[in-house]
Amino acid sequence: MTESHFPAPVILSGGRLGDRSRRTCGCFCSGRKMKNAFSTGFPAMKRNCLQKLSFLLILAAAITPSRAQQDAGNSTSGAWLFIYFKEPGNQGIYFALSRDVYHYTPLNDGQPWVAPAQTGELMRDVFLTRGPDGLFRMVWTWNWRGNSLGYASSPDLLTWSAQKQVPIMADFPATNNVWAPETYWDATKNQWLLIWSSSMKDSQDGNRIWFSMTPDFEAFSKPAIFFDPGYVTIDATIFHGTTGPYRLIFKEQTYDPLTFQERVATGPTLEGPWSNISGPINESWSEGPSAIQVGKQYIVFYDHYRAPRARYEAVATTDWKHWQDITAQTSLPPYSKHGSFLHITDEEAARLLARHDVPASAPPSSVQEPRVP
């Protein structure tokens, strides 16, 4: 999140089903052969069928929303939603739609999709995901200063709950800011992981990535540091592809030397631990990464916010080592800022395309504030 703003796609991951499983007797079991009290007395074939059916039912219930999005990255059905904001951040959240992952057209005739509901509220750095219960959950930067993030939910992307100001850093009175929150379903804990960046008034360390866990966005665990590479860090996003480790993609914001660029760390789980930090994957003056997978290619979209080339850009890789600028192959709405991507069904896309609000007068512009390191 920067004051002078002149991740078929995937964004999240919530634990990978079957990591500790192995195949025995024709069915997947955790460590040892599965015992099913209901199969007692049945022939071996029926017992095996019940075991397989049990596994499939467990898989259907436990598959994470991120895994569904990742699998959709290789699907020709559905559409992709780009969720973003525009400066100065007080107009609301915008939606854009794509059928090919690379080119996005604004919805609602370019008007905001969700407008701020409270006086003084901003809606920046938005992250939208689908939960295992089918409910859509959205978090965003509530304001430049303070200890809060924004939260709302929707069953259909058309009707939304009341916008909630969540004082996530209330236990830390010295908090300067809560920026760019994202949330991921952790199927191993049946809770949501929330991550964001915060800095402290009584510290020279600048921003680090923090986290909290919540089962319901009502009760939250006490925040703690999630990722600290030893330098100023903001705008972290987590990616887990169809294979390989978890990836934490983040912005390094070092002033000397100037490296406002994205790097990638790897980890064995949704919560890390994170290591093997890569070199920069894009140019400086870049932030707000979102990672998606299309076949064997991984794409990181990001907000390149420095004039005269302020625009959304993208880099791609097949091995997470060698990166290519593919911005020329993409088109995103003009003036779009730090957002996220979500796979939706054809039916959901049709409902969104049908929305055309009566044009409303724009809210007055708010004054840009200086950045806190």
Interval 324-358: pLDDT, tens = 999 999 999 999 999 999 999 999 999 999 999 99
Residue 42 is assigned to a structural domain of this protein:
yes
> Do residues 334 and 202 both lie within one domain?
yes
Q: Is 205 in the same domain as 81?
A: yes
Spans of the chain, pLDDT less than 50: 3-50, 52-71, 366-367, 370-373
State whether 35 and 149 are in the same domain: no
d(CA 86, CA 319): 33
pLDDT score for 16:
30
Position 74 scores a pLDDT of 54
**Inter-residue contact 248 to 267 (CB < 8 Å):** yes
Q: How many residues does the chain have?
A: 373
Output the domain CATH number for residue 315.
2.115.10.20
Q: Per the domain annotation, does 370 fall within a domain?
A: no
Q: What is the rounded distance in angstroms from the CA atom of residue 363 to the CA atom of residue 366?
A: 9
Residues 206 and 134 occupy one common structural domain: yes
First to last CA, the chain: 11
Domain membership of residue 362 (yes or no) is: no
pLDDT of residue 72: 54
56 and 144, same domain (yes or no):
no
Say whether 344 sits in a helix, a strand or coil: strand
Domain count of the fold of the chain: 2
Do 27 and 149 have their domain in common? Answer: no
Backbone angles phi, psi at 118, to 5 degrees: -125, 145
For residues 199 and 304, state if they share a domain. Answer: yes
Per the structure, the complete domain to which residue 48 belongs is given by 22-62
**Within this chain, do residues 160 and 73 fall inside the same structural domain, yes or no?**
yes
The Cα 48–Cα 207 span in angstroms is 53
Verify that 125 and 252 share a domain, yes or no.
Answer: yes
Tell me what pLDDT residue 202 has: 86
